[in-house]
Amino acid sequence: MRSAIASIVTIIAVCGLWLARASASGDVTFIPAAQVTAAFAKGAVLVNNGTYQVHASRREDAGQVEVHVKDTDVIYMLEGTTTFVTGGTMVGGMTSAPDEVRGSSVTGGETRTLTKGDVIIVPKGTPHWFKSVSGPVLYYVVKVQ
Protein backbone atom coordinates (compact mmCIF):
# COMPACT_ATOMS: atom_id res chain seq x y z
CA MET A 1 0.00 0.00 0.00
CA ARG A 2 2.81 2.42 0.90
CA SER A 3 4.57 1.78 -2.39
CA ALA A 4 1.35 2.47 -4.32
CA ILE A 5 0.88 5.79 -2.49
CA ALA A 6 4.53 6.69 -3.03
CA SER A 7 4.17 5.89 -6.75
CA ILE A 8 1.04 8.06 -7.06
CA VAL A 9 2.74 10.97 -5.24
CA THR A 10 5.78 10.63 -7.52
CA ILE A 11 3.61 10.60 -10.66
CA ILE A 12 1.69 13.68 -9.49
CA ALA A 13 4.94 15.51 -8.67
CA VAL A 14 6.50 14.66 -12.05
CA CYS A 15 3.33 15.75 -13.89
CA GLY A 16 3.27 19.01 -11.92
CA LEU A 17 6.91 19.71 -12.77
CA TRP A 18 6.30 18.91 -16.43
CA LEU A 19 3.26 21.20 -16.58
CA ALA A 20 5.16 24.00 -14.84
CA ARG A 21 8.03 23.60 -17.31
CA ALA A 22 5.66 23.51 -20.27
CA SER A 23 3.86 26.69 -19.20
CA ALA A 24 6.98 28.65 -18.31
CA SER A 25 8.31 31.05 -20.89
CA GLY A 26 11.99 31.34 -21.63
CA ASP A 27 11.54 35.05 -22.30
CA VAL A 28 12.84 37.44 -19.68
CA THR A 29 10.97 40.71 -19.28
CA PHE A 30 12.97 43.78 -18.32
CA ILE A 31 11.33 47.13 -17.69
CA PRO A 32 13.73 50.06 -17.28
CA ALA A 33 13.33 52.41 -14.32
CA ALA A 34 12.29 55.35 -16.52
CA GLN A 35 9.37 53.32 -17.92
CA VAL A 36 8.33 52.19 -14.43
CA THR A 37 8.47 55.76 -13.12
CA ALA A 38 6.34 56.97 -16.03
CA ALA A 39 3.83 54.18 -15.38
CA PHE A 40 3.47 55.18 -11.71
CA ALA A 41 2.88 58.82 -12.72
CA LYS A 42 -0.54 57.87 -14.11
CA GLY A 43 -1.01 54.20 -13.13
CA ALA A 44 -0.45 51.66 -15.89
CA VAL A 45 -0.13 47.98 -16.70
CA LEU A 46 3.54 47.04 -17.07
CA VAL A 47 3.04 43.41 -18.14
CA ASN A 48 0.04 41.35 -19.24
CA ASN A 49 0.99 37.96 -20.67
CA GLY A 50 -2.30 36.13 -20.14
CA THR A 51 -1.04 34.22 -17.10
CA TYR A 52 -0.18 37.14 -14.88
CA GLN A 53 -0.18 40.93 -14.95
CA VAL A 54 2.03 43.49 -13.23
CA HIS A 55 0.47 46.90 -12.60
CA ALA A 56 2.20 50.09 -11.49
CA SER A 57 -0.82 51.50 -9.66
CA ARG A 58 -1.57 54.98 -8.43
CA ARG A 59 -4.53 56.20 -6.38
CA GLU A 60 -5.35 59.75 -5.44
CA ASP A 61 -8.86 58.96 -4.17
CA ALA A 62 -10.89 56.10 -2.75
CA GLY A 63 -12.07 53.52 -5.26
CA GLN A 64 -15.00 51.24 -5.87
CA VAL A 65 -15.29 47.84 -4.28
CA GLU A 66 -13.75 45.25 -6.60
CA VAL A 67 -14.17 41.51 -7.07
CA HIS A 68 -11.99 39.69 -9.58
CA VAL A 69 -13.54 36.39 -10.64
CA LYS A 70 -10.30 34.88 -11.98
CA ASP A 71 -7.42 36.94 -10.57
CA THR A 72 -5.70 36.88 -7.19
CA ASP A 73 -4.15 40.27 -6.36
CA VAL A 74 -0.75 40.49 -4.70
CA ILE A 75 -0.37 44.11 -3.58
CA TYR A 76 2.91 45.69 -2.45
CA MET A 77 2.63 49.21 -1.03
CA LEU A 78 5.34 51.66 -2.08
CA GLU A 79 4.05 55.04 -0.91
CA GLY A 80 1.10 56.59 0.92
CA THR A 81 -1.51 55.17 3.27
CA THR A 82 -4.92 53.65 2.61
CA THR A 83 -7.77 52.16 4.56
CA PHE A 84 -8.28 48.82 2.84
CA VAL A 85 -11.30 46.56 3.36
CA THR A 86 -11.35 42.86 2.42
CA GLY A 87 -14.14 40.32 2.58
CA GLY A 88 -17.69 41.03 3.63
CA THR A 89 -20.56 41.49 1.19
CA MET A 90 -20.40 43.86 -1.75
CA VAL A 91 -23.23 46.40 -2.01
CA GLY A 92 -24.52 47.40 -5.45
CA GLY A 93 -22.33 44.96 -7.40
CA MET A 94 -22.46 45.28 -11.21
CA THR A 95 -20.34 43.58 -13.86
CA SER A 96 -17.92 46.20 -15.21
CA ALA A 97 -15.94 43.96 -17.58
CA PRO A 98 -15.63 40.21 -18.18
CA ASP A 99 -14.88 38.54 -14.83
CA GLU A 100 -14.84 41.91 -13.02
CA VAL A 101 -17.50 43.20 -10.61
CA ARG A 102 -17.62 46.67 -9.04
CA GLY A 103 -19.76 47.94 -6.18
CA SER A 104 -20.34 51.01 -4.04
CA SER A 105 -19.46 49.68 -0.58
CA VAL A 106 -19.05 46.62 1.62
CA THR A 107 -20.98 45.41 4.63
CA GLY A 108 -18.81 43.58 7.09
CA GLY A 109 -15.32 42.66 6.03
CA GLU A 110 -12.00 43.35 7.70
CA THR A 111 -10.50 46.84 7.69
CA ARG A 112 -6.74 47.39 7.69
CA THR A 113 -4.44 50.35 7.31
CA LEU A 114 -1.89 49.69 4.56
CA THR A 115 1.27 51.74 4.27
CA LYS A 116 4.73 51.64 2.69
CA GLY A 117 6.24 48.14 2.76
CA ASP A 118 3.00 46.26 3.45
CA VAL A 119 1.98 43.30 1.31
CA ILE A 120 -1.55 41.95 1.12
CA ILE A 121 -2.79 39.01 -0.96
CA VAL A 122 -6.44 39.11 -2.00
CA PRO A 123 -7.70 35.74 -3.32
CA LYS A 124 -9.92 35.70 -6.39
CA GLY A 125 -13.58 36.20 -5.59
CA THR A 126 -12.84 38.31 -2.49
CA PRO A 127 -14.35 41.80 -2.27
CA HIS A 128 -11.69 44.46 -1.64
CA TRP A 129 -11.85 48.21 -1.41
CA PHE A 130 -9.51 51.16 -1.12
CA LYS A 131 -12.01 52.89 1.18
CA SER A 132 -9.93 55.97 1.89
CA VAL A 133 -6.60 57.21 0.59
CA SER A 134 -3.95 59.53 2.02
CA GLY A 135 -2.06 59.95 -1.14
CA PRO A 136 -0.96 59.66 -3.58
CA VAL A 137 -0.81 55.92 -2.94
CA LEU A 138 1.62 54.01 -5.15
CA TYR A 139 1.62 50.23 -5.19
CA TYR A 140 2.47 47.24 -7.36
CA VAL A 141 -0.25 44.74 -8.09
CA VAL A 142 0.63 41.32 -9.46
CA LYS A 143 -2.54 39.65 -10.77
CA VAL A 144 -2.24 35.88 -11.01
CA GLN A 145 -4.81 33.61 -12.65
125 neighbors 69 (Cβ within 8 angstroms)? yes
pLDDT at 6: 37
**pLDDT on residue 135:** 76
Q: In whole angstroms, give the CA distance from residue 81 to residue 121.
A: 17
Q: How do the domains of the chain map onto residue ranges?
A: 31-144
How many other CB atoms are there within 10 angstroms of residue 109's CB atom?
20
pLDDT digits (tens, 9 = 90+) for 61-71: 999 999 999 99
CATH topology of domain 31-144: Jelly Rolls (2.60.120)
List pLDDT tens digits, range 93-104: 999 999 999 999
- Do 56 and 44 touch, CB atoms closer than 8 A? yes
